[in-house]
Structure 1
């Protein structure tokens, strides 16, 4: 939400922004008055603390490596019967001189206008020439980081996301954005159009590539939407900037520079904290950012107006993994869902959230269900939405063959000459382990994984997944290919002691029918099993109004988005301990039921379910009950099968847990439970349940047991 009061402005979507102040004469003289409507923003930044009425509090302003002292003053304006909050630095000559030196354009404009108007004080700077100071909250009360938006010296650099409007914009030589959205509100990435000035540089991004660079001919003017901009959701009135396009050839893929660009920490820039492109239009950029891209794309003939003296020509080839804010995880997951939907595939909620949380919990996930439900397509589109494609090598599809009875097809073998012949999986892991690829996730889809016995060809990998541990800030495993097992020096250097890199994610798709093999508990313990048997054929790849939706596009996403934060319960912070205790207590009750058929779970599953629940709560993707419901469905129920009365008793007791609050007489239902499970028959509204998805599955398993004399998770 955007808030605008006189010379102050704020968009609540900009992380830690307290407010942006348009520079006027007060900035050069004493400081600034803070509108009453912004008092709450400063109070939040100060963690609820405030100077008492009639007093002041010392504050610190931080700009890059410089710090300045000022005061936050709460003035008692008795005559107006109100408080007045001010940032004051009347006697700080150093800070006032700093403001004059940084905002030269505004200072000179105001000085000239005062001279023309005999010392007139209220000089209003036009938006096209305006400069701004932004205040950002830090973790310390009364300490603010400031950013300066200036007009002086070099041109400003901007980044525009154009998508399917790029050809129209290029043809007409413009960029255009509405004044307000469909709700009648201004949007910050459209409001930036006001600040574009003649001579500025714009980088034009579309379809995961930088495709044009342009120089601004005329600053923004109010103008109707160009006829070639076909999105009918936009308002008719907007701002138009005329600009001279220059084609970037070859187009520059985002993945070439996004990881290094994040290191520059461009304020209100186009990339989010996980390396994807923010969904919006016009974003701030910098000359150092432009120079970094130029350095990494030496085959592009950049126009002369983009050439500047290189301030720091040394570009590091690798960077540390960026921190990722929890709120950005949720936004990215929802964008992934939108990307998949616009590609014509619909999956019931919360499947995408569940898939992401399962990968985050452990890098091995099984997608099970009947043929033709989109399991393989889900993996491909999910990977593609975060920048991992077959073309860049970050997505690999490996069809499993029925004759696989050992790991050589996946991992490799030494031929008669002693040369190591790598399998497809090993080739991917070698690439993923390179330093320059450490920030990129790699997805391997083992298609129709159970056409062969999984334990025969995959057991080595399953064991290695259990050896994960932290080492120097990275997750490592025991070696898949021991150094000593290789004969040739060349092979030892390339493959020796190769483990499973932390940025490799394994997803198996399986069909459960008469042509496939069942899973052992060793496999089930080490994976989340997501089932696709509940199909709604009425979901079509289009719906009314979809053609008016803006294209959703997600660029490359950092490996940090997927990497596990916890490997053992000792890694869990104090803030999560109560959730772990509640989850453990639920599992203790479940284990008491499972003991009757010797299907109880151990520490591995307890930890996995705890981690899943923590992620779900941290990222706001699922409630605690929704998370436990899915884990009960995916980690517990697949272990249950059999034909004995004891199995039926366990199913009934588990169903009673799922229907918490409903009185079920288990012994009365042992002979005939049809009145219970028939409540989930097709066409009926499912009964209310604490854990509805597990309850539905248990009802189907009960039906199979009574009708066929045998039941299993996989038969329903």
Structure 2
């Protein structure tokens, strides 16, 4: 089994290996920090012995039969609410000199980068050696407590791989066989993606990206020299002085479009690489790539005519693929496979005797993908809770294995402690039901398994009271080392014991947990605020066809067994901010945003217009739908209009009527032959309009039929009762 955390790694199949540490600046300065996840490995090597908290024990480090003295410290990281180990040898100059000599490549790289950083920068960012240049120290157990044998894995230089972004100048640069970048920008500052030019050396490999595809690969013939701006770039706003690299371009046939490889390359965590955490391309010129990344590209594009100078030697290919398994224990499923997986989920649900409207499963999936919090609303007995259970079950998440948890909400819940937990009179933290799931889901052995939490009848209590902390923390999602992490949920004041700090310290919402709430809208429940609606997609279960009957197993023989092998990336969001997706789906984002701008002009009259959070969520939904080819664009937008816009509308004022009529005009479109004159219908009886949807019928040719049907119902309630709301059943 492979275990990896930040700069530490371990293969349990390697005899006596305690752990492998990537060489960084701390190695040359004073020692190394041991992550809490590797404490058991050192504890085993020390035969169960360990230092007392705040104290140290002398250790012996053996390299090539020579011993070096260091100290193993156990420290209290109060700021992180946990304990940790450190190996320190800052007083052992002999050992330091050995490490500097052995790892001179890493030392030179790190010191050069630190020199390049601003001298007055009080908080220098940590220098990370690129993966294809990294060096390592292996710690082995010797059978003697507090004695470790060291083996060094040093850098053997090979041609580097680079990635260059080229726009309109690519043909001119190709014909001249060059790359060129300025020394300074117009403000007189150096930029990282231009400074990389001086690191390019003869024999290096360059991937040329332009217009959403890798179109050329080249081999450097002459390293960078300072040279004035070429004539081909005369029309650019760059300064005249720059660096020039000479290189031989080879066209790749066919070109390699970004969607063929971006998810796999993103998982490689290439330091200062070209692919950002959302799968798009960073803005800039020349970025570091890696030989491992090149191997991944070639494995994904066997139809491409890769030239000989890009082909790795066989032993390096084997090493690269083995390293790939270490660095990427899992990969997301391909976009083209998503429809098949969803069809298998539908088959599993049908075999259990349950039926849901067309495309509801696709909609449920896309909603979870866009945001890991979904609300299922509707009348009682329509299968809301059952949908969550069956969907999770199809993916191998059951109550028995702890990956599916049903939490019935109680009417007396009034604050987050009812869900998260509390500190009892003895000072121990008593975990709430959702905290227990989070703790289990973040365990290293579980972090790639999907976990589903169903909050049943979640509006029996006021959601804003007991769920407020989770709503707030959900908004702190950010990318850290290609994982989605949030701020911590549990206050440190509640964690008064070392055991509680170890178990619950730093606990956020794990990226492999998906929250689904079921709600019944009646006189016993509470309405939702816009704070909740902005952060969730609302799927409605009010239109039921009772004339659906169980099918025999022979009518649907698909086998969904392979769904159990899907990891959490099947559902985890690929985008957190619109910038993550904009460069690869710009046209769709602009089209969708223009629709929302039109709708916002209507909603502003009743102060129900949407902000950036809702815009981003709708754009993500539309992007996933387009990537996977699940529904046409109008149908997908219909779902979003129904789920993200209409739940915000309620009231009795005439302005609500104007908004409903305006949205009805948008939803009907021009193809149904139904005229909606908003001004005339403000004063006249609107029943000839909304009665077209009587008995759940949909007139043909309506652009957004589901939204139009819901709007007709809301308009009818407004006329008949003097009040309307999305939530009235």
Q: TM-score, normalised by structure 2?
A: 0.55
> Does the alignment pair 1:707 with 2:716?
no
1:569 aligns with 578
What does 1:444-463 align with in structure 2 at a 5 Å threshold?
A: 444-463=453-472
Question: Displacement, 1:315?
Answer: 14
Deviations 1:437-494 (A, max 9, x none): 1111100000011111111100100001111000111101111013354211110111
Q: Determine if contact 1:502/1:563 at 8 Å carries over to the other structure.
A: yes
Give the aligned partner of residue 168 of structure 1.
none
Between the aligned partners of 1:683 and 1:658, the Cα distance in structure 2 is 16
Contact 1:484 1:496 in 2 (8 A): no
Q: Cα–Cα, structure 1 residues 379 and 599, in superposed 2: closer, same or farther, change >3 Å?
A: same
Q: Name the residue aligned to 1:496.
A: 505
Q: Aligned residue for 1:352?
A: 361
Matches within 5 A, 1:80-91: none
Pick from 345, 361, 375: which aligns with 1:366? 375
Does 1:549 pair with 2:549? no
Match of 1:651 in 2: 660
Deviation at 1:140, TM superposition (A): 2.6
Q: 1:59 to 1:358 in 2, by over 3 A?
A: closer
Aligned partners of 2:681 and 2:588: how far apart in 1?
34
1:552-601 C-alpha deviation (Å, 9 max, x unpaired): 43324201111101000111152301100000000000000111111111
Aligned-partner Cα distance in 2 for 1:456–1:675: 43
The answer as to whether partners of 1:318 and 1:435 remain within 8 angstroms in 2 is no
In structure 2, the CA distance between the partners of 1:456 and 1:689, relative to structure 1 (3 Å rule), is same
- The reply to whether residue 691 of structure 1 matches residue 693 of structure 2 is no
Q: Which residue of structure 2 lines up, in the alignment, with residue 428 of structure 1? A: 437
Q: Give the deviation of 1:551 after TM superposition.
A: 4.5
Which whole-Å CA distance do the structure 1 matches of 2:712 and 2:468 have between them? 33
Using the alignment, how far apart are the partners of 1:453 and 1:324 within structure 2? 38
Q: Distance in 2 between matches of 1:329 and 1:386?
A: 13
Aligned-partner Cα distance in 1 for 2:559–2:332: 28
- 2:698/2:709 contact within 8 Å kept: no
Partner of 1:242: none
Structure 1 residue 316, shift from structure 2 partner: 8.9
Aligned to 2:184: none
Residue 534 (structure 1) aligned to one of 543, 549, 569: 543
1:472 counterpart (456, 481, 493): 481
The match for 2:675 is 663
The aligned residue for residue 622 of structure 2 is 613
Counterparts of 1:388 and 1:573, CA distance in 2: 33
Alignment correspondent of 2:351 = 342
Which runs of no fewer than 5 residues in structure 2 stay unpaired? 1-213, 216-249, 254-298, 312-317
Instruction: Quote the Cα distance in structure 2 between the aligned partners of 1:548 and 1:465.
Output: 39
In the alignment, which residue of structure 1 is the partner of 2:397?
A: 388
Task: Tell me the equivalent position of 1:522.
Answer: 531
Note if 1:141 corresponds to 2:305: yes
Change (3 A) 1:517 1:318: farther
CA distance in 1, matches of 2:319, 2:646: 48
Rounded to whole Å, the distance in 2 between the matches of 1:59 and 1:678 is 60
User: Are the aligned partners of 1:701 and 1:713 in contact in 2 as well (CA < 8 Å)?
Assistant: yes
For 2:696 and 2:646, how far apart are their aligned partners in 1? 24
Give the aligned partner of residue 413 of structure 1.
422
Query: Is the CA contact (8 Å cut-off) linking 2:374 and 2:517 kept in structure 1?
Result: yes
Structure-2 residue corresponding to 1:118: none
- What is the DSSP-based 3-state SS (H/G/I as helix, E as strand, rest coil) of the residue aligned with 1:435? coil
Is the 8 Å Cα contact of residues 342 and 552 (structure 1) preserved in structure 2? no
Contact 1:482-1:498 at 8 Å conserved across structures: no
CA shift at 1:395, angstroms? Answer: 0.5
Give per-residue Cα distances to partners, 1:274-329, cap 9 Å, x unaligned.
xxxxxxxxxxxxxxxxxxxxxxxxxxxxxxxxxxxxxx9x9999953314210112
3-state SS of paired residue (2:518) = strand
Q: Deviations over 1:664-688 (max 9, x none)?
A: 2112212310000000011745242
Q: Please say if residues 137 and 143 of structure 1, whose CA atoms lie closer than 8 Å, have aligned partners that are also in contact.
A: no
487 and 317 in structure 1: CA distance in 2 versus 1, 3 angstrom threshold:
farther
Instruction: Tell me by how many angstroms 1:700 deviates.
Output: 0.4
- Deviation (angstroms), 1:264: 13
Take 1:549 and 1:692, find their aligned partners in 2: how far apart are those partners? Answer: 32
Distance in 2, Cα, partners of 1:683 & 1:444:
32
Structure 1 pair 499–59 and aligned structure 2 pair: CA distance change class (3 A): closer
CA distance in 2, matches of 1:58, 1:626: 40
Q: RMSD of the alignment, in Å?
A: 3.2
CA distance in 1, matches of 2:556, 2:443: 42
Q: Secondary structure at the match of 1:413?
A: strand
SS of residue in 2 equivalent to 1:397: strand
Please list, as runs of the form range in 1=range in 2, the aligned pairs for 1:317-336 lying within 5 A after superposition.
320-336=329-345
Q: Distance in 2 between matches of 1:482 and 1:541?
A: 49
Q: 1:537 to 1:613 in 2, by over 3 A?
A: same
Distance across 1 between alignment mates of 2:497 and 2:466: 25
3-state SS of the aligned residue for 1:555?
A: helix
Cα distance in 2 between the residues matched to 1:548 and 1:366: 29
Question: Aligned pair in 2 of structure 1 residues 476, 709: CA closer, same or farther (>3 Å)?
Answer: same
Contact 2:696–2:709 under 8 Å retained in 1: no
Tell me the SS of whatever aligns to 1:365. Answer: strand
Q: What SS does structure 1 have at the residue aligned with 2:676?
A: coil
Partner of residue 600 from structure 2, selected from 586, 591, 594 = 591
Pairwise CA distance, 1:353: 0.3
CA distance in 1, matches of 2:665, 2:483: 43
2:458–2:518 contact (8 Å) kept in structure 1: yes
Q: Secondary structure at the match of 1:599?
A: coil
Judging changes above 3 Å, is the alpha-carbon distance between structure 1 residues 399 and 59 closer, same or farther for their aligned structure 2 residues? closer
The answer to whether the 8 Å contact 1:317/1:436 transfers is: no
Tell me, yes or no, if the aligned pair for 1:470 and 1:476 is still in contact at 8 Å: yes
Give the total of aligned pairs.
Answer: 429
Instruction: Using the TM superposition, give the Cα deviation of residue 657 of structure 1 relative to its aligned residue in structure 2, in angstroms.
Output: 0.6
